[in-house]
Structures are given as C-alpha cells and as structure tokens.
Amino acid sequence: MANEVTSSIGSELYTNILQEAIFTATEQSVARAVARNYNLAAGAGKTFQVPVYPSVSASDVTEGTDMSNVSGLDPQSVTITLAEIGVMATVTDLMLESSPFDVAADIGNILGRAVAEKVDTDFAALFSSFSTSIGNDATEFSASMLFQAAAQLRSVNAPGPYYCVVHPKAAYALKKELATNGGNNIPALSEPGNQALQTGIIGNIAGINVVEHSLVPTSSSDGYVGAVFSRDAIGVAVGREPRLEQQRDASLRASELVMTMTTGEAILKNTYGVTLLMDGLTSN
C-alpha cells in the first residue's frame, strides 16, 4: 500500500511542484553561481577527475634557433567525489484540500531551497581550506580586507571574475563603513556606499562581487569564515540534477515528496582563494 502511487497529487499540481522545486534548487544556489561548474553525463561514475594545469611563461626567442618544449606542463588532477543529497516532505490530503494558497509553489519552493542550501553549506565548508587568510575572529569586515584579498589573487594571476561570500552579520561592518558620510576611511559617500545605504546590497568593490549568505560557517571563536576567490578556485560537480518523485501512502491519507540530487565540490587551485576571518555583529 505504501508503494502505490495514486492521483491524490494530480498530474498538473505535481508538475507545478516539480517546476518550482527544480527552478528554486538551481537558481537559488550561490555555489552554482560563483564556482566552476561541471555537469557529468550519466554513467560517468561517482568520482570526477578535474585537470588543473600549471602556469607557464613565454620567453625571448632567437631567430633560427629551435624552441624547446615547455617542461612540467602535465596537469595535476583534483578528484571531486559525488554524493547524494535529498529532502522529503509529507503532504496530507487535508493540507491540499483546505489550503487557500498556492500549495504547489509553496512546497516546490521549500524543497528546492532545502537542496540549494545543502549544496551551499557543503561549498562554504571549503572556505577555511585556502592557505592564505586575512583577519581574525576580532576583525571587522572592511573594504581594506577586500583590496588586500584582490591584491593577493592578482599577484598569483588568478583569473577573474572574483567573488566574496560573507555572512550578513559580518557584512554589516562593511555596510556601516560604506554608508558613513564623512567617516575617517571614506570622506564622501561613495557609489557602493549609496548602494548599500539605499538597497542594503554591497555590490562590487575592488573588482570583487560581494555576496551575503547566511550559511557561511562560524569559526571556533564564534567569528565567521568567508572567502574571496576566483571562479576557478572551487569546482562544483553535478552528477544528477534535482529530481522529484512522489509516493502515495493511503493509510496516512498523504503523499510523500522526495527530492534528491548528486553533487560534490572540491578546491581546484588553493592559491586562487583567500580565507576571510571576521567578527560578527556582536562587537559592533
């Protein structure tokens, strides 16, 4: 009985839930927007080898003199291991029959957001893996930290675009700095300051797109661990895009909705990222 699928969630409603869930899972994920993405074909296996090539330099050549091959051009490989993630929701008949709201959109959004947040949580857990770090648990997030991180990435020729992902409570200090007219660091309200003041969004500073995310991890001392990185610093592989299935449980008078996907993430090039250690709102 528990394995019998019936039409309690009709085909049209199920289709709407499916569309909303998949759209939310793919579009709301920060990781898939800022990292290097790899979509694997079916049957590609549970591990994925990403080739990472070393940097090479050109040199002067003499006319009539044969050039030598570049040594050490063989790529190193980084392994991304896929794992299955998922979420299940039980939708009762009474919920469907009594709700005056758009149940399909609500359920689809909840399931899709849960999957997206799991991807982002695993992605953000890598921020502490970069060998270069700026700040500590008592450091307020500032424009100076972004300029310092940008200088570090450019010094190793990390390709753009650059992204910064920080917790909203850490971002507060930078917003306060940007929006303070006549402050010590910013004598006149800047364009980013105007934007922060009007919209609450930081935007682009020092060529870095700043993104706030509540899933940025905390440190052992209750600070936050963000990062500034090139898109090529972290790889996110997807073996199976979000998939939604339903199963009817007649005795429960409900349907189970199960959403799953397979994904994995790994640092591709450690020098292309900088860890940011920051304080939160508590000291501001």
SS3 64: coil
Q: Tell me which residue has tokens 């309690």.
A: 8
Task: Tell me what pLDDT residue 94 has.
Answer: 86
**For residue range 157-170, what is the model confidence (pLDDT) as tens digits?**
999 999 999 999 99
User: Which residues are bridge partners to 208 per DSSP?
Assistant: 162, 205
- pLDDT top residue among 101 and 176: 176
Q: Please list the helix, strand and coil fractions of the chain in percent, rounded to the nearest 5, in that order.
A: 35, 30, 35
The CA distance from 123 to 174, in Å, is: 23
pLDDT of residue 237: 94
> What's the gap between Cα 196 and its chain centre?
22
- For the beta carbon of residue 187, count every other beta carbon within 10 angstroms: 9
Q: What pLDDT, in 10s, does the model give residues 50-73? A: 887 777 777 777 787 877 776 666
More confident residue, 96 or 133: 133
The whole-number pLDDT of residue 121 equals 95
Summarised one tens digit per residue, pLDDT across range 97-145 is 777 767 777 888 888 999 999 999 999 999 999 999 999 988 999 999 9
pLDDT band at 182 (very low <50, low <70, confident <90, very high): very low
pLDDT in tens, 219-277: 877 799 999 999 999 999 999 998 888 888 889 888 888 999 999 999 999 999 999 99
Query: Residue 200: phi, psi to the nearest 5?
Result: 80, 5
pLDDT at 6: 39
Domains within the chain, CATH numbers bracketed: 11-53+77-283 (3.90.1690)
CB within 8 A of 197, min separation 6: which ones?
A: 178, 179, 189
Cβ atoms < 10 Å from Cβ of 12? 9
Identify which of 162, 132, 147 has the alpha carbon closest to the alpha carbon of residue 230. Answer: 162
